[in-house]
Amino acid sequence: MGPLEGVRILEVAGIGPGPFAGMMLSDMGAEVVRIDRADRVRGGDPENPPKDILARGRRSVAVDLKNPEGIATVLAMIEKADVIIEGFRPGVMERLGLGPEICLARNPALVFGRMTGWGQEGPMAKAAGHDINYIALTGALHAIGRRDAAPTPPLNLVGDFGGGGMLLAYGVVCALLETARSGKGQVVDAAMVDGASALMGMIYAMKAMGVWQPDRGTNMLDTGAHFYDVYATKDSKYVSIGSIEPQFYALLLEHIGLAGEELPAQMDRGKWAELKVRVAEIFKTRTRDEWTEIMEGTDICYAPVLDLDEAPNHPHIKHRKTFVEAAGVVQPAPAPRFSRTAPELVRPPSFEGQHTAEVLADFGFDQERIQALRDAKAVV
């Protein structure tokens, strides 16, 4: 089950990109145990699990990290783990007594995955921030948006998830591969400013080659081109067009009725705005479903713009089983796919502390010790 089966990971509970990294690793078959705060335990019915998709696949242990016996408990668990991941500001784990130096002393083969917005060092390292701030500093936010309009935040996909959680998961797996050769652990410093910058690699390359203009909304991929954009339809829905290659562009012109006209060259930037008005008028003559009937499945590079209710029900998405329903919640399936070690969802999201005694027993704590920790309020 999953290519990471047999890997044991501790996830110090956080928000957003931290749980996303834990979900990705768990989806791939790793045994991920979430260490939740003891003061957040509220209880709940396991037959009616939480709806938090990012928390799926993991068991939860509730520990008081301000209690010395709670810290001792985590350190004992670290001795039997392959990885620990955390998403606090720099210095927090050190103040708790769970910094890399202490943890690697207890387990020299440990991979210590750290994720922050700004990184572990630098002038802004200890400042608060969110996705929008991290991608602002990398040039990514400036590049996203329409001409003569403010930059458009792309949800929190570029900083938190692509540049943060996914970067951390990737870094952890890279470090595990190296540890398998060397027998030594190390620290993974995953910063969202680094990850978002890496995602911008192609755009910086285009800038270096002189084919990316600094003005937002004037380039081929940022809504500047008439052949790469979204268009409103007659029923006030939208379609997406990405006809970059000449042969695909020729198909677009054919299907919207412009193939026989004398038109400017496709890459004549000076005519893009004028052609965009023309193309927009044409798309408003039919509904989204009518355009889908005409264009879907062709090499135009077309897709209807679907909302969150529609997307899981599209025939291609359904055929691929890209979404699954688990515990009554429609959610993205584990990705990517593997021909031999197929990942699967093994458990729904858990309540804080739902598996404390069970997990501690699996980590070698006897019942007397577990009860002593409960009595000391070190675990809940």
Q: Is-contact 65 375, C-beta < 8 A?
A: no
DSSP characters for 136-166?
Answer: HHHTHHHHSS-TTS-----TTIIIIIIIIIH
How many CA atoms, within 13 angstroms, populate the side-chain half-sphere of residue 379? 26
* Ordered alpha helix ranges (H), the chain: 17-27, 68-78, 92-96, 100-106, 131-138, 140-143, 166-182, 192-199, 201-208, 246-255, 272-283, 288-295, 315-320, 356-362, 367-375
Q: Is-contact 353 60, C-beta < 8 A?
A: yes
Q: Give the residue numbers annotated as catalytic, written as ranges.
A: 130, 160
H-run or E-run covering 242:
strand 238-242
DSSP characters for 329-354?
Answer: EEEEPPSS--SSS-----S----TTT
* Residue 321 CB neighbour total at 10 angstroms: 10
- The strand pair at 186-191 and 329-332 is best described as unpaired
Closest C-alpha among 42, 14, 64, 35 to residue 379: 64
Q: Which pair of structure tokens corresponds to residue 86?
A: 């955390």
User: Cα–Cα distance between 114 and 93 in angstroms, integer?
Assistant: 10
Look up residue 221 and give its amino acid.
L
